A and B are shown apart, each in its own frame.
Chain A
Amino acid sequence: MGFVVSAIAFLFVMAATGVAARRLPSAPAIVYGGSAAACAVVVLWAAATLAGGGGVAEGWVLPIGLPWIGTHLRADALSAFFLLIVNFGGITASLFGWGYERAHRDSHAGPVLPLFPLFLAAMNMVLIADDAFAFLVSWESMSLASWLLVLSTHREEGTPRAARLYLIMASFGTACLLLAFGLLATAHGDYSFDAIRAHAPSVSAAAFCVVLVLLGAGSKAGLVPLHVWLPLAHSAAPSHVSALMSGVMTKVAVYAMIRVLFDLLGEPVWWWGAVMLGFGALTAVMGVLYALMQEDVKRLLAYSTVENIGAIVIALGLALVFKASHTPVIAALALTAGLLHVANHSLFKSLLFFTAGAVLTATGSRDLGRLGGLIHRMPTTAVLALVGAAAISALPPLNGFVGEWLLFQAILNGPALPEWSLKIEIAVVGAALALATALAGACFVRFYGIAFLGRPRSRAAIEATEVGTGMRLGMAVPAALCVALGVLPTPLIRLFEPAVRLMVEAGPFDDRAYQPWFWLAPTSAIGNSYNGLIMLAVIALLSVLLVLVIHRRASDRLRLSIPWGCGFDGPDPAAVTQYTASSFGQPIRRAFGSTVFRARDQVEMPEPGDTRPARLTVRWTDPAWALLFTPIATAVDRLAERASRLQFMTIRRYLTLMFLALVVLLVMVAVTQR
């Protein structure tokens, strides 16, 4: 506990240093180094706490914040787990950011150094806050810091809109949470979480709270249709900040959901989970479909975050449902799947954003249409990106698959539930999740194939060079963990078992004989087991064997030549015959996009003999905007126009208003007196 608080304090110091020493050339090294150190302390503390079986029972109460309540701080097992995730992300982001800052030293950009530690500190505070006020202060400070970080690129067009939308949506979320806590704290206004736990809310109040929390935390996590800000903001920020926002901050939102739905609200009702399942499925599928439509690398990654959040929310929904139906072990399985996916996603999403940042640094472009062939020029980045892409596509034996596997195991228990509607819903959700996973695979083949493989599509891509050590280190660490966790997930699962136990009063391995530490076979999935380690070993063994055999016995001769491109060839960087991002997306667009996004391809084919290249242009509309946000915006605009007339009236009319107000009030009094 003391460690966490002092680490947070140290982060504030770092922020101050960032302001004071911004002119120094060594400032980035100091600030990012310091941040990394602080995060490392918290990571160690959290790991130790979890290993020690659960967090701190006794919290702290500081005499600040709301006068008659003070600020309650407490880190139980759940907080400890999320502290682990957040601060690990913080470490890698600091490492990468250090290199990134050195690569991008343009004076025009807004300040990042002071805000980066603040952002980390705010996220940590959310996780240890133990009363509504402290929670919301930290929550909104988190939004505030990240908003300013997004604005640090305010010179680029598009950023201001993104930042504005982000802050407004974030505050909408905060408002919803505010209302939810208002209901929980009731009129007597004791905002500490203990007091809230003490008296369970009425059924209707709880229902309101669930909806409000899904809106509030959901808008932060990027639940469809509240996701619109996310791709804009995440892609506008500097890459290491994008990694934090996408890989880590969304997890803090997930933490908020778990905290309220599993902890504060008391005994759940089955439909809560049903709602979450619905939203999760929608989010997962829509998110990846959006991602498939994107040309901008970072936007693509941000949308894939939306998809993964959908998967996590599905897991939470399952856990709630099973908790409500008093099958805690399965609930534990689902929650484990969710938390594991939280950890995994924070790893490979940070990794992928780092690679995007590296590509941006090397080529100065985020547009898939201008990349290509980078595997030759940025070998290390390419390998690490491949790990990330394979992991996020849930391919064994990497970590993404383990989470997916557990989640499916939980879904397969759907039939055990009493409610018929739920049984069927879970079947459908399972299909949606499978669809999302498969589409994610397609999406990242597209990402990796277009950006790193093939022939370069621009001069910049030809002249790209590998990035510096700091950035490569920042990428290598999460990549290594992606592999490690894929091969040996069990230790991590054991580590955060206390958190699961705290939320659903059971662990995933209960009522089951002891498992060897390298074996993953959770309870209740009879005979279902998975072992990445052996799988990897066998594959490696076999392929080595294969290579040896073939090169010994069969030929190992090799001749380099020109690939056959229908007659087109040559060193032209345009690589006219090559598939582009949009042409790669075309089959899937036809299969899905035409209905969801009203996507239309338009090919302009020049006459035979004309040397101009043919052009493929894709038009599509975003349903979330078309159906929800544009109407709201226009409504406010219209009202503003109406109201604005009041500014330009004559004094006599204003007097008339006053007179009418007076008369109305008098009449009200006269009536009330009768």
Chain B
Amino acid sequence: MGAITVIVATPLLSAVILALVPDYRLAAKLNILFSAITLLAAFVQFGLEPSSGSLFVVDAFNIYLIALTAFVGLTTSVFSAGYIGHEVAIRRLDAGKLRFYHAMYQAFMFTMLLALSANNLGVMWVAVEGATLTTVLMVSLYRTAASIEAAWKYFILCGVGIALALFGTILMYLAAQPVMGPGMAAMTWTELMVHVAKVNPAILNLAFVFLLVGYGTKVGLAPLHAWLPDAHAEGPTPISAVLSGLLLNVALYAVLRFKMLLAANGAAIAPGPLMVAMGLASLLLAGLMLYRRRDIKRFFAYSSIEHMGIITFAFGMGGPLANFAGLLHMAMHSLTKSAIFYAVGHAVQVKGTQRMEKIAGLTVSHPVLGWGLLVGVVAIAGLPPFGIFMSEFLLVTSTFAREPLLAVPLAIGILVAFGALVLRVQQVCFGAPLGGAGGNAPIQGSLVPLFAHLALVLVAGLWLPGPLVAWFQTVAALLG
């Protein structure tokens, strides 16, 4: 029990501490330090037996997500140290804002880790809402008209989403209460999983719809995705990285927990079709949206929507293979996409623009960064030998064997998105570099986070460690 408490408590404390540190350089270092501690605790967690208390639960499902979150949190903090240095240099941020930024960063980590580890529907909901609030504040950090516009949109849409999710939560309790009696028990995952079989399916269905729409808004499923691209495009890049890499996963994790309940309760409707439909919609829509994009961060935000669509589709299909693929894809996507955002952050800083046609010939002007970005995009496009290829391989093959008619639009959607990715990555990475604004400024900060992530994705594409596979398989079984 100790480790998980540390994992959750560290960010909370550090948020308080960072709020008190005026010097942003020191704050950045502390930020890294605290994230490192969290990650350490997460690793310790691996050693311990899966346990569940009244407050926290650690099982095969969230143990790796917690570790992943802590890891990406650390790498992002490293990246952000270099990033903010440049932002201060060009006077986009000042010390005061940065103080706020660092505090909020840790607060955000806290809410996400809490949402992942909470053993209680209500607590999880509160955590997700907290995550929304903190990120809204960070998206609007630059105080530009565009960023406020984006934050506002994000806030309203997710606010409504959160409200619906809360209603779903209440309904869930409403359904469980007659069986399990009043009290905390009826809102505790572990308890619910035990008794859910006897629960009235009608309310369960109702609840799931609200939860799907509510948390689905945060996952960024079409047609609830509208907030996502702008929030990614207008906020600081480290935030875009954690939004894509972590927050979406957390929201999806919530949906999946409820899917588990429905799966465990025999009589309830199969949530599969709903998720498949939304997944396909997101995939196809995002794939088409990619073509007209000019802003590189918004471009990759849409690619996140696309991948969330694929993952949701996978879980909607269900079955051991598809679920395995979905879980793997979650992990791979968060690693790869955050890596891409690191690269994009550097690229945007050295070129001084977010317009893709202006960031040309990156492999020529900044070879290491350019090839890093290229590899990242290759990975996200689902090309081997990277992890996403493995998950897409499993998903497409198993789907085609079971539901050929569903596999065809899936393949088409992936190809459409692929076309756009190739188009843009060639535009950004190759060709003659334009001098112009910023020209060929040197890269601020280290590229270690970028390549660390890419290395992990590469390894995962070739070889998955045994325990991870075991976890995936148990969860896949639970997800039905």
Q: Is B326 positioned at the interface, with any CB of A under 8 Å from its CB?
A: no
Query: B396 near A651 (CB under 8 angstroms)?
Result: no
Q: Which of B152, B364, B418 contacts A651 (CB 8 A)?
A: B152
With A183-B401, A657-B224 in contact, do A110 and B415 touch (Cβ < 8 Å)?
A: no
Q: Is A203 an interface residue (CB 8 A)?
A: no
B194-222: contact bitstring with A at CB < 8 Å (1 yes, 0 no)? 00000000100110011011000100000
Count: A-B pairs, CB below 8 Å: 173
B432 within 8 Å of A (CB atoms) = yes
Contact of B430 with A175 in the complex, beta carbons under 8 Å: no
Tell me the bound Cα distance from A133 to B205 in angstroms. Answer: 38
Q: Which of B223, B319, B364, B419 contacts A661 (CB 8 A)?
A: B223
Q: What is the distance, in angstroms, from A15's C-beta to the closest C-beta of chain B?
A: 13
Instruction: Report B309 CB to chain A, min CB distance, Å.
Output: 13
Instruction: Report if A654 contacts B (CB, 8 A).
Output: yes
B462 A168 Cβ-Cβ under 8 A: no
A182-B407, A658-B157, A669-B205 known; A164 and B288 CB under 8 Å? no
Say yes or no for B393: interface residue by CB 8 A criterion: yes
In the complex with contacts A164-B426, A167-B422, A65-B415 CB distance below 8 A: no
Could you say which residues of chain B place their CB within 8 Å of the CB of A662?
164, 209-210, 213
Q: How many angstroms from the CA of A672 to the CA of B274 in the assembled complex?
A: 12
User: Contact at B291–A175, with CB atoms within 8 Å?
Assistant: no
Answer whether residue B156 sits at the interface, using C-beta atoms and an 8 A cutoff.
Answer: yes
Let me know if B352 is at the binding interface, CB within 8 A. no
- Closest chain A residue, CB of each to CB of B397: A182
The CA-CA distance from A59 to B432 in the complex, in Å, is: 47
Q: Mark A632-654, 1 if CB is under 8 A from B, else 0.
A: 00001101111110110101001
Indicate whether A672 sits within 8 Å of B269 (C-beta atoms), given known contacts A64-B463, A665-B209: yes
The reply to whether B423 and A67 contact each other, CB–CB distance below 8 Å, is no
Q: Is A78 positioned at the interface, with any CB of B under 8 Å from its CB?
A: no
Interface secondary structure of A, over-half rule: helix
In the complex, B454 has a CB within 8 A of chain A: no
Cross-chain contact A178 with B378 (CB below 8 angstroms): no
Q: Is there an interface contact between A175 and B415, defined as CB atoms closer than 8 Å? A: yes
The answer to whether A651 touches B430, judged by C-beta atoms less than 8 angstroms apart, is no
Question: Known: A178-B411, A666-B209. Contact between A636 and B397, CB under 8 A?
Answer: no
Assuming the A-B contacts A67-B469, A658-B161, are A189 and B394 also in contact, with contact meaning beta carbons closer than 8 angstroms in the complex? yes
Given B209, B229, B423, which contacts A164 in the complex, CB threshold below 8 Å? B423
Residue B97 is within 8 A (CB to CB) of chain A in the complex: no
Quick one: which of B118-147 are within 8 Å of A by CB? none
**CB-based contact A636/B291 at 8 Å:** yes
The interface centre, meaning the residue of B289, B400, B418 with most chain A CB atoms within 10 A of its CB, is: B400
Q: How large is the interface on A (under 10, 10 to 19, 20 to 34, 35 or more residues)?
A: 35 or more
Given A183-B401, A187-B319, A636-B419, verify A661-B224 contact (CB < 8 Å). yes
Cβ A68 vs Cβ B463 within 8 A: no
Are A655 and B157 in contact (CB-based, < 8 A)? yes
Contacts of B389 in A (CB 8 A): 137, 140
Contacts of B290 in A (CB 8 A): 640
Once the chains bind, are A643 and B390 in contact (CB under 8 Å)? no
Which chain B residues (391-425) contact chain A, with CB distance < 8 Å? 393-394, 396-402, 404, 407, 411, 414-416, 418-419, 422-423
Q: List the B side residues contacting A110 at CB < 8 Å.
A: 363, 430
Chain B residues near A654: list those with CB within 8 A: 153, 157, 226-227
Contact of A658 among B224, B285, B292, B404 (CB under 8 A): B224
Q: Is the CB of B288 within 8 A of A179?
A: no
Considering the complex, give the chain B residue whose CB is closest to the CB of A134.
B384
* Residue B184 lies at the interface, judged by CB distance under 8 Å to chain A: no
Cβ A182 vs Cβ B401 within 8 A: yes
**A418 near B: Cβ within 8 Å?**
no
As a 0/1 sequence over residues 3 to 30 of chain B, the CB contacts with chain A under 8 angstroms (1 = contact) are 0000000000000000000000000000
A665 to B205 alpha-carbon distance, docked (Å)? 10
Q: Which of A554-604 contact B (CB under 8 A)?
A: none
CA distance A14 to B210 in the complex (A): 56
A-B contact pairs, 28 of them (CB 8 A): A65-B462, A110-B363, A133-B390, A137-B384, A141-B384, A154-B431, A168-B415, A178-B393, A178-B397, A181-B397, A183-B400, A187-B401, A189-B321, A189-B398, A191-B397, A208-B404, A636-B288, A640-B288, A644-B289, A646-B223, A646-B226, A647-B229, A651-B153, A654-B226, A657-B226, A658-B217, A665-B212, A669-B269
> Closest 5 A-B residue pairs measured CB to CB?
A182-B397, A182-B400, A640-B291, A643-B288, A654-B226
Q: 4 more A-B contacts (CB under 8 A) besides A171-B415, A644-B292, A673-B269? A: A140-B383, A636-B291, A654-B157, A661-B223
